[in-house]
Chains A and B, each alone.
Chain A
Amino acid sequence: MLVSALVLTVEDGDLARLLTHLSADPRLELGSLVGRRLPVVAEVPDARSGEQLVEELQGLAGVSFVDVVLVDFSMANTQEAI
């Protein structure tokens, strides 16, 4: 299990639709929007999934940038993470 903290910078447009889409994703926990920045916690089974998730979020319509703030790999499978 790997927990990451992300900040999504979102664009003008159909924000409600984007938030609905993100809320439905069981890997994500959304914080409250701060201006155009959305704090997000992501929980994925392994590091590769985390990497793919960031790529996926970066590719979403309405997301202009994904910043990774923190990753805690202390509970990741050692063999996988290291």
Chain B
Amino acid sequence: MDRRDFLRKSAMSAAVLAASRGSEAAEASKTAVDPAVLARSGAGVTWNKAPCRFCGTGCHVQVGTHNGRVVAVAGDRLAPVNQGLLCVKGYHVGLALYGKDRLTRPLLRKDGVLVPITWERAIAVASERIAADPKGFAFYGSGQWTIPEGYAAQKLMKAGLGSNHIDANARLCMSSAVTGFLATYGVDEPAGCYDDLDVCDVLIMWGNNPAEMHPVLFSRVVDRRSRGDKITLVDIATRTTRTTGFCDHQLLFRPHTDLAIANGVMNLLLERGAYDKEFVAKHCAFRADSAPATLQGQAISIDEFRRQLALYTPDHVEKLSGVPAAQIRLLADLFGSPKLRITSLWCMGMNQHTAGTAMNTLVHGLHLLSGHFGRPGDAPTSLTGQPSACGTVREVGTLAHGLPGGLVIANEKHRKEAEEIWHVPAGRIAAQAGHHTIEMWKRFSTPKERGGDISTIWVQVTNPGQSLPNRHALVDPSRKLPGKFLIVSDVYPTATTAIADLVLPSALWVEKNGMVGNSERRTQQWFKMVQPPGEARDDCWQTIAVARSLHDKGVPGLKDKDGKFLFAIERDGKELPIWDWKHYYDVNVDEHLFEEYRAFTRFKHKDLAPYREYVRARGLRWPVVQQKDGSWRETRFRFTKFDDPYVRSDGRVDFYHSPTEDGRAQIWFRPYAPPPEVPDKDFPFWLCTGRVLEHWHTGSLTMRIPQLAAAMPQAYVEVHPNDARVLGVNNGDMVVIESRRGRVTLPAWLDGRGAPVVGSVFVPFFDERVLINNVTLDAYDPFSKQPDYKKCAVRLHKAGANRLPT
């Protein structure tokens, strides 16, 4: 058999196995051959498991390596998440390592130019900056941080420097989901899981486009239809997307009025008596905003709830939202049907919203009020866009107000618990929350004498120069201010490294050990498989090396109560020099950090298993609880009597972290109020920004993959044909988009992949040559501090043409 035949046979085996998944699989599976087994037998390729590097779905891939390079990627058929499938980004993930312009040496800006320096010098420069002003130092991380990377950064800041100025880019994508869960259940993250997609009768997507953004998950639903399952898909959106094409119903609403829709449906459920009276009486309470507004709000009665909702009649909702009253009634019919199993999905559309917390609580409230909760297929489930937005940011708590395991800075008892686990003196953790993302960057871009108390920011695994809103205000001023210093760790040149003072080259994905946590509470692990290029090194090592340099300088806080280095790992009573790159892999640093972190996870019943369990598994969903026989059992459906070991009562569910400490979840009344900026005479269009199938976030990885770059080479603006006609714009014409904050020029796409409604346009944000975030608004949700990238007011005109009267 020659290599070509071998590859073809491997590929056919993989395809047959994937095609055979599910109930029809038995016969085909018996005859199919595992491609990895085939590969091992003849091609010299070594296969190992790893989660995909891209989105928050958490697909597992088999990574084939040969002669020190990744040479093949296959969907992992043993992985419950993707059952052998991958999306277009996933199957190209191996190529993300091999862009021609990988950063391979540390770079320091001298006379305006980045010049190569040694790692010793780079670590010294970083630690000198921090040592000079520890309280003016901020760490800005990511939902792409691995769990140990985020944990190390968190520990350096909060246990070491006694500073809470650490935040992560997940603030920009899912913090309203966090506050929504907290306000409703008293604890973060979804109760349901992806299994819901396999059994639900109705799937409602709230401002969500999984056909492009989470295609493997969406494929599970499409696959059910192909097997004859009846499943009703509902798209609630402000524009038509690839997802819409698969849906039975589309509710097209005016931006921001999703609150009115949810209120309208709840109002109908009450009016009809079609809510789940028994479930509500046993397991729910009602709340509304307090004055001043807090995440806890104030208790109200069901009668008060009913009275406030009464305004939201179908006709009034139609007037506000543009959604026909008949469609509001249809949604109420679905939620009012106890026999149906209903799953709601959402992602950025609901989270990047100045009323994101409110909207999140309303969707939870709808499920609770109607009793569509706590049975397989009945679940409100938020999705995440990054591989470890949940695992690292939400669970490790790398946010300005958070501590690991769901503990919070504001709670004195929580701080004490953390200080004990970290073995640092009482009072080490500052009692005041740090600066959230927008505030952190605003202060970095403000002179010190005017309150700009952040002097140095270290960015790891993210690209704020492209992804922050209103970049002109939040980022650019800092680059002209004396005394402001920007450190960036990354794998490729980006819009952020371009303006950095110090650039640190990082290892990527299977060039290092890692652990991540996906959208369904699944924690995943992988081992390093290939060496990083040149002098690129792990982000976690970078953090520990800087911490050691600070320790050696005598900076307070880098030692624990016994005088040991904060990140000390000992073997036979001797400390291992893990801050020295030559010795970093003498021990599994990930395992040590993870085992320490695990101690935090029991406080809020987010229990994680020992590291070794994740080595064996394709991820485990927390809480993972040890059984009498010593085995570790994951939990699919949280708060449910039939699956969650922490449920105390005999009822169907138990919300054991209830904000009211009585086992009840909260159903909120949240009135609709207009957004902070709406189109007007001067800026008559809505602008919505987002992602596309081929590119992931700011495109720093996917634009290096020729196949993906070729498939979607540049950003564009989707314009409705009617608007294009008025503007005199044809397909491909260059168009200027302008807001009160900035402007960009890019080509128009009419009748493209997505279809905006008249009076609105859509621009993806992956293209660093077109910084659409010069245009977007930095207004944010009052609770989550998450900005709204989905709506602001802009005007358009054809480039080169006079601006048309508006």
Contact = CB atoms under 8 A, between A and B. Distances in A.
Given A34-B28, A35-B227, A48-B710, A72 B10 contact: yes
Interface stretch (B90-98, B231-239, B373-381, B431-439): B90-98
A19 B88 CA distance: 24
Contacts of A29: 8, 12
Nearest to A3: B7
Contacts of A34: 16, 19-20, 24-25, 28
Nearest to B15: A39
A42 to B, nearest CB: 8
Chain B interface bracket (under 10, 10 to 19, 20 to 34, 35 or more)? 35 or more
B72 interface: yes
A81 B20 contact: no
Contacts of A7: 15, 18-19, 85
B219 A39 contact: no
A9 B157 CA distance: 50
Given A36-B226, A74-B43, 14 more contacts: A6-B15, A36-B227, A37-B18, A39-B12, A64-B225, A65-B226, A67-B219, A69-B14, A71-B73, A72-B11, A72-B71, A81-B95, A82-B98, A82-B99
Interface in A14-47: 29, 31-32, 34-41, 43, 47
Nearest to A11: B226
A29 to B, nearest CB: 7
Contact of B11 (A5, A35, A55, A67): A5
A67 B710 CA distance: 19
B308 interface: no
Nearest to A82: B98
B576 to A, nearest CB: 36
A60 interface: no
B759 interface: no
Given A3-B11, A7-B18, A37-B226, A69 B24 contact: no
A69 B85 contact: yes
5 contacts: A5-B12, A5-B35, A69-B11, A69-B84, A81-B95
Given A35-B226, A35-B227, A69 B707 contact: no
Interface of B: 3-4, 7-8, 10-12, 14-20, 22, 24-25, 28, 35, 43, 45, 64, 66, 71-75, 84-88, 91-92, 94-95, 98-100, 219, 222-223, 225-227, 706-707, 710-711
Contact of B15 (A5, A43, A65): A5
B654 to A, nearest CB: 39
Greatest chain B CB density within 10 A among A3, A65, A69, A80 is at: A69
A57 interface: no
Given A5-B15, A37-B19, A51 B707 contact: yes
Contacts of B94: 73
A80 B100 CA distance: 12
Nearest to A54: B88
Contacts of A74: 7, 43, 45, 64, 66, 71-72
Contacts of B35: 5, 70
Contacts of A4: 11, 91
Contacts of B92: 71
A81 B706 CA distance: 7
A75 interface: yes
Given A51-B711, A72-B71, A38 B19 contact: yes
Contacts of B14: 5, 69-70
Nearest to A47: B707
